[in-house]
Structure formats: structure tokens, C-alpha cells
Amino acid sequence: MRAPVRPSWGLALVLLGLAPQLPCWRSRKEGCLRAADLLTCAGLGLERIPAEAPDDAATLDLSHNRLPALRTGAFWGPPRLRVLRLAHNRLTVVEPGAFQNSSGELLRHLDLSSNKLRAVEAAAFQDLPGLEELLLFDNLLAEVEGEGLAGLSALRRLYLGHNRLTDFPFRSIQGHSELVLLDLSWNRLPRLPLEDLSGLSVGLQQGLYLHGNPLVCDCAAYRMFRLWELRGYAAVSDFRRDYTCLMYGISGAAARFLPDFPQPCDAPVRLEVDAGRPALLHCTTALSGEHVTFFWVSPKLEYVAPPGNGGSLKAFANGSLEISLAQAEDSGLYLCVALDATGRRNETREVEVTVRVPHTGAEHESFNTGYTTLLGCVVSLVLVLMYLYLTPCRRTPRSEGASARVESEGAVSSTNKHVVFLEPAEERRNGRLGSRKKLPDEPPKQL
């Protein structure tokens, strides 16, 4: 029989000495516990946020409960709160203004992971300008609105992995200068807006996690990932095996972007066609044989295999693709995939199609412009001729002409807008002034 354990008076005295240094607070209704500046209400089955909270609490843990939603003005947290954990609840929506009664600029960490959120609405976090870390992974997010992250000017780390996003507004975060980590891994992104990604800061590109998405196998994305790998970006080099691309329509036909893309990446073939005319696209590849199959991916991400899509696109067994009547919306990058099922090899070719659409009325406009110019020249010429030959000219009487003479040599006079050259008053002979000839009708001078 074991001897009963006797209490150690020394240990009891030590615990009594430490008791004043270990404050403990228990909510009477919810059963929350407090240790120092930490208040935890985790795992209590709560369906609403506790109304009671000590004012000096800096961390509030409400994870593993049954909170259904965060409505406008629903959260009433401690005034000095810096960390808020709401993971593993049943949240379906976070309305704008849900945190308007919180500590605002003091809150630095917000954990909303492992809930049932379906969208990040515009200005959902506008009342948290000091937030630095936002956890939204493991939800049902299918959309992040362009203004969904508005107001988070201090945000440094954003976790959106393991959701259902098919696109992301990268342009909306180009102004977030403090953002250095964006996790978009294991979503449903088919294509990446490379132009928008190039506009991100170098620091954010280093912390951009895109692995685990069903990306399209194209050379542009490969070049980007390869460049990031050569630069030593950990977001790519640490998860290189998870950067894969899918061949649409072929079960299990997946390839890895890195380390070596399983296809040559030449410049895309460029093809121009007039609107309303057919265009034939060829899939030039080194693969051949009866086991090689072809399919195309249109600019609209439409999978097209022989015999075609039943509309304007016709696919042939030899790998060619015909656009029956090209229209402006048919312009874009077409991706051809050749797959050798026996050798488990594949090659991809890109064809960039540009449909030329004539401008309506362009020929009439140029003709009208030339006609107007020619007509203006003719009218101007007629007016000049009329001015020169049809303007009446009044002859000046001799008496008037005599009185209008100017003594200086080469003087001119203007009458009725015609220039009249008058005779010089005196003639020059060998550099001397000569006598002026007497006019026939001039009366003799009086001596």
C-alpha cells in the first residue's frame, strides 16, 4: 500500500509568494481566463463576443467558438487591444464597420483563419489603419474586392492561402509600400496578370507565394518564375516542386515550371488577319506519331479539341486550328499543346492573333478632306484673278497727277489700291541735276 503524499510546506510558501505576480481574471458569464495582459475565451462555444473585458488586456483569444458573423459595430474590444484571434469559428461575413469600436490604430494582428468567409468586401477593415498582419487563410474566399484592403496602409503580411480565389486585384496593393508578404498559395488562379505583377515592389515580389495554383503552362509565366529563382527569392526556391501547370482537358497531364520547363519557349508566332476572313493556326512541334494528340486553349481559356467548339473554332487532328470568320474579340494569345501519351512528353506553342478591323467611313473621310482642300484652292485662285483683272481702275487726271508729284526721286503714290510710278521731278545727268522738261499743257512761268 502506497503511503499518502504529504504536502510540501516549502512549495506552498513559494506558490503563495508568486501568487501576487500571476493575476487571474474569470468572466462570471462566459468563463474567460486572464493571465497578465492575455484574455482567452477559446473553446467555450460562444455565439457572441463577450461584453466584459478588462481595459488593460492587449491580447484577446476568441478562437474555437461558434461566432456566426461580425456585423457593423458588433465588436467592442478593450481599448488597448493589439492582438485579436478569431480563428476556427463559423464566420461567414465581416461587414464594414465591424471594428469601429475596437482599439483602431493599436491593433496589429488579426486572425480570421479557418472560418467560412466567402468574400472580402470593400472597406471591411477601414477602421484598422495600424494593422500589420491579417490572416485569412483556410476560408471559402472566392473574391477580394478592389477596395477590400483599403485603409490598411501599415499592412506588412497578408495570408490568403487555401481559398477559392480565381483572381486577385494586384493593382489595388501596389500602393501598399509596407507589404512584404502575400500568400496566395493553393487557390484556383489559372493565369497571372504579369504586367500587374511587374508593378509590385521588389520586396513584395520576394514574398509573393503562388505555388499550388492550377496555372496555365505558358512561357511568360515560366520566364518570370525562372527569373525569381535565379534571384534567390525564397517564395519560389523553397516551394519549387509545388509550382506546377496544368494541361487543360487532359487528366493527369501536369508539368512543373521548375527547375526545367518541359518545352521550348520560343517567341510566339504572330499572325494578322482581316476581320471577316478565315485564319489557320498551325501547331509546329517536333512530336509526331499516332500517339500524339493536340488541343488548343483560346484567349478566353476555352479548351478546344478536334473537331472544335461547335462555333467559330475548328480543330483538326494534325494540330491545326481554324478561325472561320475572324472578329475583333478573336484577337489574343492561342496556346497549342501537343501531348505524346506513350512517351509522356508534351510541347507547347503560342500563336498571337491580331484581327485587323477597318474603320468605318475612313475612305469617305479621306476623300472628303482632299476634296475640301482642292475646292478651297480653286476658290482662292478665282478670287486672286478677279482681284487682278476685274477690279475697276480710275485714271488720274494730269492736273491731279501734277499736283501729286513728289520731288524725291523714285517716289510712289497709291490710288485705288494700284501702285503708280510717277516720273521723277528732275533728271540726273552725269550726277548733276538737269532742267526739267516743260510739259505741253503747262503755262509759262511768269518772270
Distance CA 214, CA 98 (A): 34
Range of the domain at 346: 269-356
Predicted confidence at residue 335, as pLDDT, reads 84
Cis peptide before 259 (omega within 30 of 0): yes
Residue 280 lies in a domain: yes
My answer on whether 204 and 252 are in the same domain is yes
Cβ contacts of 145 within 8 Å, gap of 6 or more: 119, 120, 121, 122, 169
My answer on whether 185 and 319 are in the same domain is no
Predicted confidence at residue 345, as pLDDT, reads 67
Number of domains observed in the structure of the chain = 2
Predicted confidence at residue 99, as pLDDT, reads 87
Most distant CA atoms of the chain, gap in Å: 179
Tell me which of 256, 283, 313 is where a domain ends. 256
The three cell numbers locating residue 105 = 490604430
My answer on whether 236 and 313 are in the same domain is no
Tell me which of 356, 386, 403 is where a domain ends. 356
- Strand pairing of 313-315 and 321-323? antiparallel
Residue 375 lies in a domain: no
Predicted confidence at residue 441, as pLDDT, reads 52
CATH of the domain at 297: 2.60.40.10
My answer on whether 294 and 343 are in the same domain is yes
Predicted confidence at residue 245, as pLDDT, reads 85
Predicted confidence at residue 109, as pLDDT, reads 96
My answer on whether 239 and 305 are in the same domain is no
Buried b or exposed e, range 193-204, using 16+ CB within 10 angstroms = eeeeeeebeeeb
Residue of 101, 115, 31 lying closest to 67 (CA atoms) = 115
In degrees and rounded to multiples of 5, residue 313 shows phi and psi of -105, 125
Residue 381 lies in a domain: no
Distance CA 91, CA 392 (A): 98
Per-residue confidence in pLDDT tens, the chain, 447 aa: 344 434 443 433 333 343 333 344 444 445 899 888 999 999 999 999 887 778 889 999 999 999 999 998 888 778 889 999 999 999 999 998 888 877 778 999 999 999 999 999 988 898 899 999 999 999 999 999 989 998 899 999 999 999 999 999 999 998 899 999 999 999 999 889 988 998 899 999 999 999 999 888 888 888 899 889 988 999 999 999 999 887 654 545 678 888 777 666 777 788 999 999 999 999 888 787 888 888 898 888 788 999 998 889 999 999 999 999 999 999 988 888 888 777 556 677 888 899 999 876 544 444 455 666 777 777 778 777 777 776 565 554 554 444 444 444 444 444 444 444 444 444 444 444 444 444 455 555 544
Tell me which of 356, 379, 412 is where a domain ends. 356
Predicted confidence at residue 61, as pLDDT, reads 96
CATH of the domain at 165: 3.80.10.10
Cis peptide before 262 (omega within 30 of 0): no
Residue 424 lies in a domain: no
